[in-house]
Amino acid sequence: MTTLTKPDLKKKLRLDALARRDALAVDYRLDAAMSLVEWAAEICSTPPDVAAGFWPIRSEMDVRPLMHALGAQGARLALPAILDSQTIVFRELIRGAKLVEMGFGTKGPDVEAQVLMPDLILVPLAAFDARGHRIGYGGGFYDRALARMAAQGHMPKLVGIAFDCQEVDEVPDEPHDVVLPEILTESGLRRFAPDL
């Protein structure tokens, strides 16, 4: 029996979890997205100054209702903007402002939008485990963005966003991985103890 390398195992877990997510009914995904709104106040004890979400792609959980609820609490909203093959920044999302294609099927504010430093980031993911370890889409954009923020002395609160069906038994750890302290799914907010 061949043992998979960590990157190959992550790729397999990612593909399997995304297939399960893709199989969810559209109505189920819509109801799940709306259920996240109930957790807006629970995510942060005080509303964040800047909350960053993401424009949903494919069968991804739609965080726009949750972002709207955070905005109603007073948070400025932001979406990731892809600058190049290595870098994202978070640009302010203002109602009625122009959104442009960012690649990978996602949209974000154009270059005229102000770049913000989020206090809260809703993190997309392909798969997660019961320790808060995450498998992203393989580009490393969030890992690099968070490393840059940490180097500037800023670490936002991170909440992963997924469907329950994206949970896997165990995500293989790699040194660059950022562990999520919380993940919000349609069944509620899960908080994870830090690795010791």
Annotated binding residues, as ranges? 10-14, 60, 134-142
C-alpha Rg value of the chain to the nearest Å: 16
Please give the Cα distance from 89 to 66 (Å, whole number). Answer: 20
Chain centroid, CA 177 distance in Å: 14
Could you tell me which residues are annotated as the binding site for ATP?
Answer: 10-14, 134-142
Could you tell me which residues are annotated as the binding site for substrate?
Answer: 60
SS (H, E, C) 116-177: ECCCEEEEECCEECCCCCEECCCCCHHHHHHHHHHHCCCCCEEEEECCHHHECCCCCCCCCC
DSSP three-state, residue 96:
coil
Q: Of 70, 170, 84, 88, whose CA–CA distance to 124 is shortest?
A: 88
- The one-letter code for the residue type at 100 is V
Count Cβ atoms below 10 Å from residue 40 Cβ, excluding itself.
21
Q: Of 26, 33, 25, 114, whose CA–CA distance to 76 is shortest?
A: 114
